[in-house]
Amino acid sequence: MVIHERRPVVVARPVPSLLAPWQRTLKRSFDLILALTLLVPTLPVILAAALAASRDTGASGFFLQERVGLGGRLFRVIKIRTMRPVPGPASTVTTRNDPRVTRLGRLMRRTKVDELPQLFNVVLGQMSFVGPRPDVPGYADALLGEDRLILAVRPGITGPATLQYRDEETLLAGVDDPERYNREVIFPDKIRLNRDYVKYWSFARDLGYLWQTVFPVLRHGRRDT
């Protein structure tokens, strides 16, 4: 996961949607129904994980951070806290062996339990199951031209860029300057992938991305038990 250095925020400008009204309705209806359905069995898991994270990190079990959403509007993403504060300057990227990530946090990140609270973001209409990952202010909202298409849909829990860079933390741990590599290589490629996602959106593609997300996570979970 990458936490970018904050840049000056660009004033939000209108972003026209490429999805037809019926496509937006289909996508939103699917998100709402699935999120409400999943919250019933996962709510105890979310609460237990938040309690464990609070004891593990010494802070609130829930981590809230301002992100850029649909049309450049800001919202607070909700996750399980997986990092503890450490002395020294804060890094803008998270690598595989980041000392801020606790052992429990590493397990939650590997199994994606830390992402479960984003079901609330989906219910509230701030996120979708599939879409570009929401970035901190000063990045996605600062894009120009055709790149701003990524703001025409709700940000997602998963998506093509998320899947492409599933092992991003390991990748960043293997370069000399993780922040520069992220800024010059990974971030531009994510923009390309997310732009194409919006341009060629289809409901079938969304289902495919969900399939590619869920089953590798389940296999990971079985290996860890």
Output 208-217 pairs: Cβ under 8 A, ≥24 positions apart.
Answer: 209/130, 209/158, 209/159, 209/160, 209/163, 210/129, 210/130, 210/158, 212/163, 213/157, 213/158, 213/162, 213/163, 216/166, 217/111, 217/112
- Looking at the domain assignment, is residue 211 inside a domain? yes
- Looking at the domain assignment, is residue 224 inside a domain? no
Residue predicted with more confidence, 55 or 11: 55
- Looking at the domain assignment, is residue 36 inside a domain? yes
Residue predicted with more confidence, 180 or 33: 33
Overall number of domains in the chain: 1
Tokens of 28: 């939103």
The band of 96, judged by pLDDT with boundaries at 50, 70 and 90, is: low
Computed over every residue of the chain, the mean pLDDT equals 86
Residue 3 has pLDDT above 70, yes or no: no
pLDDT of residue 90: 57
Residue 92 has pLDDT above 70, yes or no: no
- Looking at the domain assignment, is residue 181 inside a domain? yes
- Looking at the domain assignment, is residue 6 inside a domain? no
Instruction: Give just the sign of the alpha carbon dihedral 204, 209, 213, 216.
Output: positive
Percentage of the chain beyond pLDDT 90 is 61
Q: Can you point out the beta strands (E) in the chain?
A: 62-68, 74-80, 128-130, 156-158
Average pLDDT over every residue of 77-91: 78
Residue predicted with more confidence, 209 or 14: 209
- Looking at the domain assignment, is residue 177 inside a domain? yes
pLDDT of residue 88: 53
pLDDT of residue 65: 93
Across 2-11, 28-37, 49-58, 178-187, least confident range: 2-11
Q: By residue range, what is the domain housing residue 30?
A: 21-86+98-217
Q: Could you report the per-residue pLDDT of 110-168, keeping only the tens digit for each? A: 899 999 999 999 999 999 999 999 988 877 778 888 999 999 999 999 999 999 998 88
pTM as predicted: 0.85
The band of 217, judged by pLDDT with boundaries at 50, 70 and 90, is: low
pLDDT of residue 67: 94
- Looking at the domain assignment, is residue 197 inside a domain? yes
